[in-house]
Structure 1
Amino acid sequence: MDDAARDPVPQAVTAGEYVALLRDARRRSGLTYRDIARRASAAGHWLPPSTLATMLGRTTLPRERTVVAMLAAIGTPAGEVERLLGMRRDIEARLDERDRCETQPARDTADPRPGVDPAPGVDPVPPEPPRSRAPRPVRRWLRPALLAVVGVLTVGTTGVLLPKAVATVDDAPTADCPLVLRQGMYGPCVLDLQEHLVAGGLAVPVDGWFGPDTTSRVIAFQAMGGMPVSGIADGRVLDELADAPPVPPTWSEERIGKYLRLVFPEDPGGAVRVARCLSGLDPYRVEVVADGSRRWGLFQFSDTELSRLGVDGRTALDPGWNIRAARDVWSRAGGFGHWRCAPSP
């Protein structure tokens, strides 16, 4: 019996089986998630441990660029990289074909016999014209990335092959990402930042645009992590997002409403209305105003108010504290006149 018969090349026909192959490759490498992240970074990829853990913990087909980053980091031979990526593309094509079949319009159930008119008063429904399938986007980054893996390789002290250089990736976060991400930027580097914010428990639109919502979430993450609060995602923020546990689960609107009614029994409706107007009932909402100062949490306490109260942004983002502090203000002011908020139309 030849070697191929004794040790068949692993194959996968489903997304779950494909992820299992990747998990096995990671296990056989003997590298930890942090080791792989460091090696991927040295090769020009951005693959935080949390992203790797998420990919290997699911049964859905992972992104091609993430697969390339992991395979490069663990020193996978070039031929095996090509084979695994080809296998992934085959699975992706089958999934696309299945989705296309499932979304085909139902067959016309009208009487197909010639001369039979539709029911009186009912307009016949014209058949939907066949949709032309858009060509799959060309992954311009894939071939250069593979060439980099195939290209200059060195053997480290552990005998693991490591890529010495890697080509630039057009549409994926790489070493070409800016060292600092800030409001106004757009692109895949921001997209990855947003995905990590969401994974950490801070909901934000994942659209690749670093707008006020992303700034708000970065500030919240910095405050809750005890970091300097700037709203700018630098290397420390990205590292913390990759390694830190999720932020405490946010309160639901129902829980917020119940607590507001408990704390403001004299005017529960007014309390809910003001909090909704100020923050959309989002406990982690941080607004940056024109002068650069910030307003925090459900009742949008200002930096000046937090300083006077002797608390930091992390405390202000605790919905329980924020509501109780609002009650104190309400009691002193004799109502909600302290807050000015014009509800959205």
Structure 2
Amino acid sequence: MPACPETERFGALLRSLKNRSGLSYEALAKKTGTAGSTLHRYCRGTSVPQDYGSVHRFATACGATPDELRTLHRQWALADAARTETGAVDAEAAVDAVDAVDAVDPADAVVVTGLVDSDRDVGDGDGDGDEEPEAVEVGPVRPVRQGRFRLDQFRQGRFRVVVIGAVVLTLGVSAWALTTDHPSSGKGAGGGSAADGRLLFSAACQPVVAMGQHDACVGEVQRLLHAKGADIDVDSDFGPQTLRRVTAFQVFTGLQPNGVVGGATKEALYTSNVRMTVWPPAKVRQHIRAVFTDAPDAAVAIADCQSFLDPLHILPNTNGTRNWGLFQISDLRLRELGGTPRQALDPEWNIRAAKRLWSKKRDFHDWPNCERAVKGAATTAPAR
């Protein structure tokens, strides 16, 4: 990937955290679940992960402060935007893809048809992850006579160049076709300027507005969200409240809920008819009590502890997952319940989903961090 200022600054931030922690790449790989060689490439600024989750895990493992996490999130957004805008795919990204291919049964990996996630890199196999990735050349691919690769040939790596070529081609096409919310999104709508009321598309605003930023462009994002009914302070400070509201807006509009305001989100903020008005706390309490007839006080206390009775409360976890809505239903529980983030932000659905979780054991074991909030309340049904 050609070096760019955003990517270099992103790598420099990661290197600073890594050096300060005193941890090796091997130790960080164990803590984060990402291969050491992949983390090494991130720190060198030669590769940018598509998902912020792996970055957050790395920074947390290194002991990053909340302010450092906000700065890192914004720099990752800028680096990711630069990557998706150029659609560049380098040989080192191909190493990530080939390592991922090598991790599965070769019989199932002959044809490469999708985008390969470098965060699932399995490393080089020696366990330390501190070494430089091997250089890979992607040259002309000679015709293959046989219709299928033989298993022994695949294992011996004779067709690695063919696989790399296919991955590079797939990555290039996918980066062009599947990219969402990058800076070029929305240009087809004519761009904009402060004069025509589209400040976010003017030269005064950066391609990506993200966590940790404090300026008039953040204020414009907040103003647009407030105009759609969102409960948000218009203070020009992109903090946790703005992050939650931006993410909720992206869910409502069907955009990738990454919490950063790129081109597609900017366009939607100006053109979408989405309304973000939610139930007031009094209505939330009333409905919780109506659903949790066996433990109404405890259920209200749990929801208040989890989300402050905010139906659009979204909390990111250190492993890249999120908790959603009134009862902060996790991604894992959401899949088990057959729900979606959009449903989880609907207070009616969220409350009834929480009741389903409660009904399994007739207690609030799914919310252990709020035990103090329900102290003295009847947390189980009365004896029958």
Q: Structure 2-normalised TM-score? A: 0.45
Q: Structure 1-normalised TM-score? A: 0.50
Larger Rg: 1
More helix by percentage: 2
